[in-house]
Amino acid sequence: MVIELPGVSVNSIPRKDGRFQGYLIDGEGKKKYIYGRSYKDVTEKIQIKFRLMQNAMKRSVKENSERKEGIIKKFENSKKKAKEVHPFNEYLESWIEKYKAPNVKPTTLQSIRTAVKPALIAFGETPIEEITGDDIQDLLIHIQETRLRDLCKINLSQVFKKATIQKIIDSDPCESVEIKKHKSEHKKALTIEEQRRFLIASENSPHSLLFRLILSTGIRIGEALALTKADIDFENCKLTINKNVAFINGKRIVQDTPKSEAGNRIIPILADICRELKEIQTESLFPCTYNAAKKSIGKDSKRA
């Protein structure tokens, strides 16, 4: 049997001990000797060894190739991740649309946008990964209006906390910020004399009934502007508060619930005010805006 394989040789003459000898060269260039009782026996063994060696080499080449591809892919992903940045303005807008807009009222959403506007101006397209606690501290220090500063800090804390949870940044820079909290001024109620003077001043105003209702019940103007005839129990002189009105970009928006759950309530009203409300022909009792009411107060106050 003639064997024609690269790196393989079989002696046709037996050794002194009667055995036949052959060899093949492995992948490392080393000779591997094979022995047998006959030339045919050695040849068959070598052929088997050669096939096994070839298969092993193919597997090794494939494994090395796959390993190399894996290393390259891992490097590319790492490189891509290293280059990926999140501009503050884009991340902020995404945070508002995903986590705030679906869960808060339009008025609250507008308040959030107003609160973060200074940060939007200051940081713009700066990658959120590069913004430090000192950057935020400097921003807040330069916001003169204390209430706006508090709201800006509160919302920025939520933004950076979310970015930390999402592993976009390693730590929340807001944790190192130190800003004195704003204390709200105590609101002073009108005295009896001030109420009397106000009622006289607004007596001829087209919004006189609105002012008297608010003054006698203590309801918010947004709650008053949302009232309809369906909310009034004319027989028992009571009104139900279950919604309010907000104006965003000039658009009147009726919200289904008041500012808080505790705002859902039933309030008694004076009999003469109840009669006047009943005489109104439209379903909406006060179809006016905040500004119209405020301007009316200003004009009537000057007359007083």
Residue with tokens 């006189």: 208
Per-10-residue mean pLDDT for the chain, 304 residues long?
A: 66 86 80 85 81 81 81 69 81 95 88 94 94 94 91 95 94 91 72 88 87 91 91 94 83 72 83 93 88 68 44
From CA 177, how far away is CA 157, in angstroms rounded? 10
Give pLDDT tens digits for 77-124. 665 555 578 999 999 999 999 999 998 888 889 999 999 999 999 999
The set of residues, in sequence order, having a beta carbon less than 8 Å from that of 60 and lying 6+ positions away, is 27
Per DSSP, helices labelled H in 171-241 are 192-201, 208-217, 221-225
Q: Are 109 and 100 a contacting pair, CB within 8 Å?
A: yes
pTM of the model: 0.55
The set of residues, in sequence order, having a beta carbon less than 8 Å from that of 131 and lying 6+ positions away, is 88, 123, 160, 173
Q: Are 232 and 278 a contacting pair, CB within 8 Å?
A: yes
